[in-house]
Chain A
Amino acid sequence: MNWQLTRRPYAGSISERIRRSGLRKGSHVIKHAQARRGKGRTRYLGFIILSLLPIISLFIIFTVLPAAAAVVMSLFDYSLIGPSRPFVGIGNFRALFQDPLFLKSLWNTIRFVCMTVPLNILVSLPVALGLNRIRFLRSFFRACYYIPTVTSLAAVSLVWLYLYDPATGLINALLRTIGLPTQSWLGNASLALPSIVLVYVWQDLGYNVVIFLAALQGLPATYYEAAQIDGAGSWQLFRYITLPLLKPTMGMVVILTMISAFKVFTPVHIMTQGGPMNSTKLLVYYIYENAFSFLKMGYASAMAVMLFGMILLLTLVQLVFLRTD
């Protein structure tokens, strides 16, 4: 076949071709051809504006502006019932550090986070390692560990309230049958916070199990084969191969678990209302009390700004983490 015959002759410039094609001006084919050529110019601006405007507005109205308002409110003595709302500058923040209850709730929150995160990792990682090892019943077991995560924390808190009951609860009944002393789990100021930690970790665990399991399944098998040929034992495999390869996942999991632990509210509100003796008064619970029970909204906003600062710091740490790994 003669290639010269099959080759198309020069068709002329775009505008010439449009003219010759007999298509009407403004036809979608022409628009499309023009859109493909004019890379620098914006096409379909009407559609873009129509679709983004409502969405961006909702973000601005319900997140950006309220966040800015919270920062502004933290500088005012803003009470819902007071007649005037004077500007106090950093007065609210100064008052916070003289408020023993705030300091207590900050300390409780830090203790809560410091108990929750290691406990969560120390349980979820071994569970994921176990799930990664087995073949039979793997998704059944994974489901068992994940189920508390999908249920509402409010319902779960009710169930644990009954389990923890000093007289009629199951936990003390079990302790009694094996001859151990019973405890007033939520009524004892030194036990109440760890008891809530336990409920929270139990509920939140499955999420990290699934993340760790997925990461473990993605690790290349060749490393393990090579190390096994070199005679490495299970512990050595874990210590020198699994753990270093899991480092990025670990960083992400730690930060995400920390951030959500900083914001815990539901179990405190349902199980202890901050008691006994303020031992379970966590930051968000104290913010809630100040804003919606005492109506001291400026003061509560100052606390919320501090919480935001801490979470922002953690998020930035996470970003740095992700960049280096």
Chain B
Amino acid sequence: MRAQGREQAVQSGIVYILLAIGATVMVGPFVWMLLCSFKTGYEIVRIPPTFWPASPTIENYKAVLFTVPFVRYFLNSLLVAGVITVSVLFTSSLAGYVFAKYRFPGREFLFVLVLSTLMVPFELVMIPLYLLMLRLRFLNTYWALILPGCVRVLGVFLMRQFMAQVPSELMEAARIDGCSEFRTFWSIMLPQVKPALATLGIFTFMTSWNDYLWPLIAIDSMELRTLPVGLAMLTTKQFITRYDLSMAGATLAVVPAVVVFIALQKYFVRGVTMTGLKG
């Protein structure tokens, strides 16, 4: 019995060591990014590289924040992702509520129509969408960034599942008390699905915050670029392999996401495991 216990302890020891090695590989690049963001332009290209910054400097951050409109990129991303998230939460929960709780002719058809768009990859839609935005003169405006993201199929599907679980008696009670249909939805049903809203909101925000392909296509002007596109331009367009600047820029983009993730970890895990949402 004791031998078995020892064997178990050795086994879990090995598991811990392997997991720690893996975790180092996962987190290591970020640590390296953070360290290098404080190195000078000379030190960052030194061979062999130094581990600790020899003379830590915040010049890279200053350069990124003030010579490149990085703050503007950040605010653009915040605005776009914020508006999209509010809109997706509202439209998904309202549509989910109607699909879950009302009977009307064509309900199944409409729901299948909405659901079938889940299979359509963005890559198929992007060219006609670009031409549509061109025709509407929305290219190079916030409209181009926001409008296509305002509704999300997965959100409607998800909220329909959650709304269906809320007992219909609540709705009926509200109606007897004289609530309008919208008010029943807004003040009675919506508070019942708060955890689902939190999960959907976080994933929608993350997806939109990290989106790269569409903002790259839809935006030409420097002032309207979102964070990922602005970041990529740091190396590809404005500076040629200025690693000092790109590490500082990447740090500014990565740190908020990691902080939000650590603060809201349980919602992330729930989102992935319960709904298959992908950020």
Secondary structure call for the B interface = helix
CB-based contact B22/A145 at 8 Å: yes
Q: How far is the CA of A245 from the CA of B98 in the complex (A)?
A: 37
Flag the segment in A14-22, A110-118, A307-315 that touches B: A307-315
**Distance A248 CA – B23 CA, assembled complex (angstroms):** 27
The contact string, 1 if C-beta is below 8 Å from chain A, for chain B 136-170, is 00000000000110110100100000000000000
Whether B124 pairs with A307 at a CB distance below 8 angstroms is yes
Q: Please give me the residue from chain A that is nearest to B264 by CB atom.
A: A150
With the chains together, A55 CA to B114 CA distance in Å?
10
- Complex Cα–Cα for A28 and B175 (A): 7
Q: Is A130 an interface residue, CB under 8 A from the partner?
A: yes
Chain B residues near A252 (CB-CB < 8 A): 276
Residue A106 CB within 8 A of the other chain: no
Most chain B CB within 10 A, of A162, A173, A252, is at A162
Q: In the complex, which residues of chain B have a beta carbon less than 8 angstroms from the beta carbon of A270?
A: 232, 235-236
Residue of A nearest to B107 (CB): A48
Task: Determine whether A95 belongs to the interface, using a CB cutoff of 8 Å to chain B.
Answer: no
Beta-carbon contact of B258 and A150 below 8 Å? yes
Query: Complex formed: what's the CA distance from A312 to B121 in Å?
Result: 9
Residues of B within 8 A of A65 (CB): 128
Q: Are A142 and B269 in contact (CB under 8 A)?
A: yes
A270 → B minimal CB distance (Å): 5
A147 touching B26, Cβ below 8 Å: yes
- The answer to whether the Cβ of B105 comes within 8 Å of any Cβ in the partner chain is yes
Residues of B within 8 Å of A119, CB to CB, are none
Name A's interface SS: helix
Name the interface residues of A137-169: CB closer than 8 Å to any CB of B.
137, 139, 141-163, 165, 167-168
Q: Smallest CB-CB separation from B217: which chain A residue?
A: A292
Smallest CB separation, A67 vs chain B (Å): 5
B29 touches A207 (CB 8 A): no
Complex CA gap A97/B33 in Å reads 43
Alpha-carbon distance A141/B272, docked complex (angstroms):
17
Would A210 and B273 be within 8 Å (CB), given that A58-B151, A170-B32 are in contact?
Answer: yes
Contacts of A247 in B (CB 8 A): none
Asked whether any CB of chain A lies closer than 8 Å to the CB of B227, the reply is: yes
B54-62, B188-196, B244-252 - interface stretch: B244-252
Give which listed residue, A145, A153, A207, contacts B272 with CB less than 8 A.
A207
Select which of A56, A127, A139 is within 8 A of B22 by beta carbon: A127
Q: Are B95 and A51 in contact (CB under 8 A)?
A: yes
List 7 A-B pairs, Cβ < 8 Å.
Answer: A51-B97, A54-B91, A59-B114, A146-B268, A152-B257, A161-B246, A205-B26
Q: A residues touching B (Cβ–Cβ < 8 Å)?
A: 28-29, 31-32, 35-36, 39, 42-45, 47-48, 51-52, 54-56, 58-59, 61-67, 69-70, 73, 80, 123, 127, 130-131, 133-134, 137, 139, 141-163, 165, 167-168, 170, 173, 176-177, 202, 205-207, 210-211, 214, 234, 252, 256, 259-260, 263, 265-266, 269-270, 273, 284, 287-288, 291-292, 297, 300-301, 304-305, 307-308, 311-312, 315
Known contacts A66-B132, A165-B243, then 5 further A-B pairs from the complex at CB < 8 Å, ordered by chain A residue: A59-B151, A62-B125, A154-B231, A207-B279, A284-B213
The 4 closest A-B pairs by CB, nearest first: A154-B228, A69-B128, A214-B273, A66-B128
